[in-house]
Amino acid sequence: MTRQKLLQIRLTAGQENSFAARQFGPDLEIETVHSPTEAIAKLARYSYSGVYLDGQSLEQEESIIRLLQSERILDGLPEGVALVNAEMEVTWANKGLRSWSPLPDPTGHKFYDTLGNTQIVGPDFCPFHTALATGSSSYSTLQTDDNRYFSVHVSPLTEAATDQAALVATVSEITAEIMQQQKLAAIHQAGRQLTDLKPDEIFAMDTQARIDLLKDNIRHYTADLLNVEVVEIRLLEANGNLMPLLSVGIDQEAADRQLFASPHSNGVTGFVASTGKSYLCEDASQDPLYLEAFEGAASSLTVPLLLHDTIIGTINVESNKVRAFDAADLQFLEIFARDVAAALNTLELLVAQKNNAAQQSCEAIHSAVALPVDYILNDAVAVIEKYLGHDPDVVKRLHRILQNARDIRRVIQQIGQRLAPGEAAPAGCSQQLHQKLRSKRILVVDAEEQILREAHALLERYGCVVETAHCGDEAVSMYRASHIDAAYDVVISAIRLPDYSGYQLMLRLQKITEIVPLALMTGFGYDPGHSIVNARKAGLHPKALLYKPFRVTQLINVVETVIDAYHTEAV
């Protein structure tokens, strides 16, 4: 017959088993503990026929009963709870901890072994020793070999500590939270790497290559982080059109579909672009906004591309599974979308920087050759006039020199316009608003080379063909020769020239053509010879007057005024 065992919880002083022995007889094996926590540890490891409470008062006994009953509450918690002795051995574990443990029974084993092979992630790499040494709580994170994560909070049993229980450890599985943090960190890292290039790589890549790299990175990181293969990015244009930038896994017909930023009749993408609100389509077959992107599409997630809270486009990912995305995916894509928007903005800045650099290079080259080419033209025209009627072959060769010199300038100008068309015009002056200036031939006459350079720089930005002369006689020769090759559309002359006045130049030009498209320029209204007054009497347009130094808008307005007036009179 098996001898029965009794667990006695004895809090009073005196002979240990005297009362229990007398009460239950000598055949009963009695084991005595002196604290409720020690009793819980014993009850977890061994079987007893009963528990005897030997307290100092009824109130004390009731509190012990409640404490023992709390074991059943702890056993039902979803978190893990364990009593641990000073050697870090588990003396009691609830169901939660036992369910996570690969061991049949974690009691009697070192705590770290109860969860399998683990490594401490931190922040406290010795939480049990810290709690024992300081008498304060400590916590840490554990990672298992199967990539699960647990948060462990360790508290000392300062008043109820025994050999069986010195610490209580509460354990929570935080795998989902850790994985989410890692995913967020990966998204931020991916965002930083979207356009992260070394200086030598940037130097070796043109703008299109950078755009292609960005597309590849977006495709890679979206597939890797969100586990999707269908991605579409559209950029919002000024007219509301959503221009496709990237389409992966999208049917060609859907990729070519014209969409606008509108909440109606433009699908989920149009809705998101117009409202700035993200949209989770859980079941494409039941969503009236959804427009099919590929055969078998079942769900989608679309978020706006925001740059400083301004909508610049949309990014859309899709799946062939219903409810493939959840709120966490929405958060991830919104974070990634901001990085994508910043990367796209960086590329735009790179394009602008490239265009600006190209424009500056072309302007520097043109500035270096502009006046020397003008000198060639001036000299060639002067020689042509001397040889007219004498040696046709020389005149023909000189005309070829003129043409070649003008071709050099035109090629430089065309390269500059092709490399940087948008940035060529000064801020606030759109080239499209001044189409009438394109290809117009302008002759500028002034003794100051700085004025001639400025005329080249400012007018040629708008597509004008500018030539210069330094005095009245050069201007007359250039004007006469232009009627053989290509007539000037506007002549801009200083009122004071080295050989005569602007008014006298006008009179000489009128001997060549009855109507002269002339504008006069002066510094600070200085006109000692009354050139402006006399020129107006001779037919100068009332608004054909410029003041040095040039203001861009004034220069453009005057040139356009003369072109319009001359064209009307010529017709």
Question: Model confidence over 315-335: pLDDT tens digits?
Answer: 999 999 999 888 888 888 887
**CATH architecture of the region 1-75:** 3-Layer(aba) Sandwich (3.40)
The model's confidence at residue 86, banded by pLDDT at 50, 70 and 90, is confident
The model's confidence at residue 429, banded by pLDDT at 50, 70 and 90, is very low
Instruction: Report how far residue 434's alpha carbon sits from residue 431's, in angstroms, rounded to the nearest whole number.
Output: 5
For 111-123, give one letter per residue: b (16+ CB within 10 A) or e: bbbbbeebeeeee
Contacts of 370 (CB under 8 A, 6+ apart): 409, 452, 453, 456, 466, 468
pLDDT at 271: 95
- 3-class DSSP state for residue 31? strand
More confident residue, 540 or 378: 540
pLDDT at 160: 56
More confident residue, 498 or 404: 498
Two structure tokens written together for 200: 């030598």
If phi > 0 it is left, if psi is from -120 to 50 it is alpha, else beta; for residue 389 that is left
Helices and strands (H and E) in the chain: how many? 17, 20
CATH 3.90.76.10 fits 186-352, yes or no: no
Instruction: Please write down the long-range contacts of 562-568, taking CB distance under 8 Å and 24 or more positions apart.
Output: 562/490, 562/517, 562/518, 562/519, 563/436, 563/437, 563/440, 563/489, 563/490, 563/517, 564/436, 565/517, 565/541, 566/489, 566/490, 566/515, 566/517
Q: What is the mean pLDDT of residues 96-102?
A: 84
Q: Is the pLDDT of residue 505 over 80?
A: yes
Q: What is the mean pLDDT of residues 408-413?
A: 67
pLDDT at 280: 93
Q: What is the mean pLDDT of residues 116-142?
A: 85
Instruction: Report how far residue 466's alpha carbon sits from residue 366's, in angstroms, rounded to the nearest whole number.
Output: 12
Q: Is the pLDDT of residue 307 over 70?
A: yes
Quick one: DSSP state of residue 501? B
> Which of 74-83, 189-198, 397-406, 533-542 is predicted least confidently?
189-198
Distances (CA, A) of 496 to 490, 516, 525: 18, 18, 12
More confident residue, 375 or 427: 375
Instruction: Report how far residue 237's alpha carbon sits from residue 243's, in angstroms, rounded to the nearest whole number.
Output: 7
Q: Is the pLDDT of residue 13 over 80?
A: no
pLDDT at 379: 78
Q: Is the pLDDT of residue 508 over 90?
A: yes
More confident residue, 408 or 497: 497
The model's confidence at residue 90, banded by pLDDT at 50, 70 and 90, is confident
The model's confidence at residue 161, banded by pLDDT at 50, 70 and 90, is low
Q: Is the pLDDT of residue 501 over 70?
A: yes
Hey, which of 113-117, 259-263, 355-359 has the most confident mean pLDDT? Answer: 259-263
- Listed in order, the ranges of the chain carrying CATH 3.30.450.40 are 186-352
pLDDT at 49: 57
Q: Is the pLDDT of residue 346 over 80?
A: no
pLDDT at 184: 60
- Listed in order, the ranges of the chain carrying CATH 3.30.450.20 are 77-173
The model's confidence at residue 392, banded by pLDDT at 50, 70 and 90, is confident
pLDDT at 139: 85
Q: Is the pLDDT of residue 519 over 90?
A: yes
Across the strands, what pairs with 314? 234, 304
Instruction: Report how far residue 114's alpha carbon sits from residue 89's, in angstroms, rounded to the nearest whole number.
Output: 10
Residues in the chain, total: 571
> pTM value?
0.41
pLDDT at 378: 80
Within 10 angstroms of residue 66's Cβ, the number of other Cβ atoms is 10
Two structure tokens written together for 195: 């356009």
Task: Provide the CATH topology of domain 357-570.
Answer: Rossmann fold (3.40.50)
pLDDT at 300: 92
At 147, the amino acid letter reads: N
Percent of the chain past pLDDT 70, that is, above it, reads 67
pLDDT at 504: 94
| Residue that is written with structure tokens 């939480």 in the block | 127
> Which of 128-132, 172-176, 195-199 is predicted least confidently?
195-199
Per-residue pLDDT of 236-245, as tens digits, reads: 888 899 988 8
Q: Is the pLDDT of residue 1 over 50?
A: no
The model's confidence at residue 96, banded by pLDDT at 50, 70 and 90, is confident
Torsions phi, psi for 103 (to 5 deg): -85, 145
Torsions phi, psi for 248 (to 5 deg): -125, 120
More confident residue, 158 or 305: 305
pLDDT at 26: 63
The model's confidence at residue 430, banded by pLDDT at 50, 70 and 90, is very low
pLDDT at 420: 47
The model's confidence at residue 371, banded by pLDDT at 50, 70 and 90, is confident
Q: Is the pLDDT of residue 399 over 50?
A: yes
More confident residue, 459 or 181: 459
- CATH class of the domain defined by 77-173: alpha beta
pLDDT at 422: 43
The model's confidence at residue 272, banded by pLDDT at 50, 70 and 90, is very high
- Listed in order, the ranges of the chain carrying CATH 3.40.50.2300 are 357-570
The model's confidence at residue 482, banded by pLDDT at 50, 70 and 90, is confident
Q: Is the pLDDT of residue 106 over 80?
A: yes
The model's confidence at residue 442, banded by pLDDT at 50, 70 and 90, is very high
Taking all residues of the chain, what is their mean pLDDT, rounded to a whole number? 77
Percent of the chain past pLDDT 90, that is, above it, reads 20
More confident residue, 460 or 505: 505
More confident residue, 53 or 294: 294
